[in-house]
Structure 1
């Protein structure tokens, strides 16, 4: 038990640490007291960001939401930045693991699964999209977040390259170009849903799905 509680502090990173690849920081043994407290801290950070934004969230806010003092919280993390870095890394890993399971399906099914994941799932509420955008914004000046985001982008695009490689009659001779466009649409439409009242999640889902069908040479499915 002692080692599980002391590990968060030893693993905590500064804004200059650069992980080579997104990797979950949650221990496989998630039932220890230390891991339960870390999860409460992560949830508190998440809720605070959704409620008032990352910039306005203080360490005291996060500690209060996790039912502990700020000094107690610092036993697990070095500060607000460290909490976000590790939480964003964990979320990125979970997203990637889910997306990469789609690869066992045919192209049409993969497009439907991907569109549903980004525009219909529990990660697609306006609040959760706002949380994602807060993380992306914080990554501009945080080296750890920047590397995690870059790895997330690269692996999402690699998945899309495989999707277009498997398409029978793709409109693009270069699957990497198609992947860049598809990923840009995915992130762009999610951002548009958050900022533009004229586009809904349902509308974004339809646009993304139809675009990927057409890009994959599946025009008949795009009209459905």
Structure 2
């Protein structure tokens, strides 16, 4: 993949805000958003393990003790941040359901491989979150719910397909989701595959699995 500056503006700064119909702009919410953005930038810059509470506080323009008024440590910040982003992503993905199934395949591919969340930095941030979900019960529950709902959305697409390569729409969804996550990881670690190529592989494979194209 191409390289990016170590600290880029987060495309997810708004996505990480609480999912309410009207975003609150109280002083506390503004400070929480600054904390989320600081955590995000610190993780991209040095990784979650090397990020300290003091680093996050400095990036948010406050002291570590002041930050603890809002969150009980960096684990709590990541847990809430990831939950907020997951909700926003699901709102976008599940919103595709109003379109024809074949069009949804393209929309999903664009979201995962062409959207604001598909830069190398944002994919790396996602992988950091997934890695921490291994030993964090709250992150693991959030990720499991996210995975389940994404696969349910894919299963609905396959259920509406003209013909399936596999007999079961849920099995098809399992494979398609694994391919999607795997391709995003491959793009991050393998210089021989680009986002554009991953986008093509995903769309062509899912279309063939569903009978939307020959």
Report the counterpart of residue 143 of structure 1 in structure 2: 137
- Structure (1 or 2) with the larger CA radius of gyration: 1
Distance 1:183 1:97, change over 3 A: same
Contact 2:19 2:87 in 1 (8 A): no
What pairs with 1:1-224 in structure 2 (closer than 5 Å)?
Answer: 25=18, 28-220=22-214
Match of 1:193, SS state, is helix
Cα–Cα, structure 1 residues 191 and 156, in superposed 2: closer, same or farther, change >3 Å?
same
TM-score, length-scaled by structure 1: 0.86
Deviations 1:147-187 (A, max 9, x none): 00000000000001101001111222200100000000000
* Superposed CA RMSD: 1.1
User: Which consecutive segments of 4 or more residues in structure 1 shift more than 4 A?
Assistant: 24-29
Please give the secondary structure, in 1, of the residue aligned with 2:124: helix
SS class of match (1:153): helix
State how many pairs are aligned: 197
1:112 Cα deviation from its structure 2 partner: 0.6
Where do 5+ consecutive residues of structure 1 fail to align?
Answer: 1-23
Cα distance in structure 1, aligned partners of 2:161 and 2:88? 26
Q: 1:167 & 1:196 partners in 2: Cα distance?
A: 32
